[in-house]
Amino acid sequence: MLMDTSGWLCLNDRSDHRHAEAARFYHIARMHLTTSYILAEYVALTHSRGLPRQKALEFSEVVLTDPDVQVVWVDADLHRQAVELLLNRKDKTYSLCDAVSFVLMRERQISEALTTDRHFEQEGFVRLLPQ
C-alpha cells in the first residue's frame, strides 16, 4: 500500500474522523511504501496547518527508521517520468508528488493508496480513505 501525505495526516491526527479507518488499513497492510516527496509534502502541510514543525520532522525521522516502511528516494529518472506523466495529463491538476506516486505504483504494481486524494482514483488506483 502506498502511504500518501493525506494518509499519514489521517493516521497521525486522532481528531480526524478518518483516523480509526486509516489505522485499521495501516495495520492490515502487508507493506507500506512512501516517497521522499511525500515526506517533504507532509512536513510542509503540517507546518502550514499550524502544527509544530518539530513534531513533523520527528515524525519523518520515525518513518525513515521504521523497518515496516519502505521509503523510495526520488531520483532524477523517477522525477522525469513524473513530469512526463504531468505533461500527458494537461486536463488534470495533479501535483508532482502525486505523479511520482502514480509512476511508482504502476512500476511496483501497487493498486491501493492510503489517501483521501481523488486523483488516485482518476488514475485507476484504489483510494482507501474517501472524503
Q: Spell out the domain ranges in the chain.
A: 2-73+110-127
pLDDT at 127: 98
DSSP one-letter string for the chain: -EE-HHHHHHHH-TTSTTHHHHHHHHHH-S-EEEEHHHHHHHHHHHHHTT--HHHHHHHHHHHHH-TTEEEEPP-HHHHHHHHHHHHH-TTS---HHHHHHHHHHHHHT--EEE---THHHHTT-EESS--
Q: What pTM did the predictor assign?
A: 0.94
Q: Considering only CA atoms, which of 37, 54, 58, 40 is closest in space to residue 102?
A: 37
Strands 32-35 and 69-72: parallel
pLDDT at 75: 99
Tell me the pLDDT of the chain (131 aa) as tens digits: 999 999 999 999 899 999 999 999 999 999 999 999 999 999 999 988 888 889 899 999 999 999 999 999 999 999 999 999 999 999 999 999 999 999 999 999 999 999 999 999 999 999 999 87
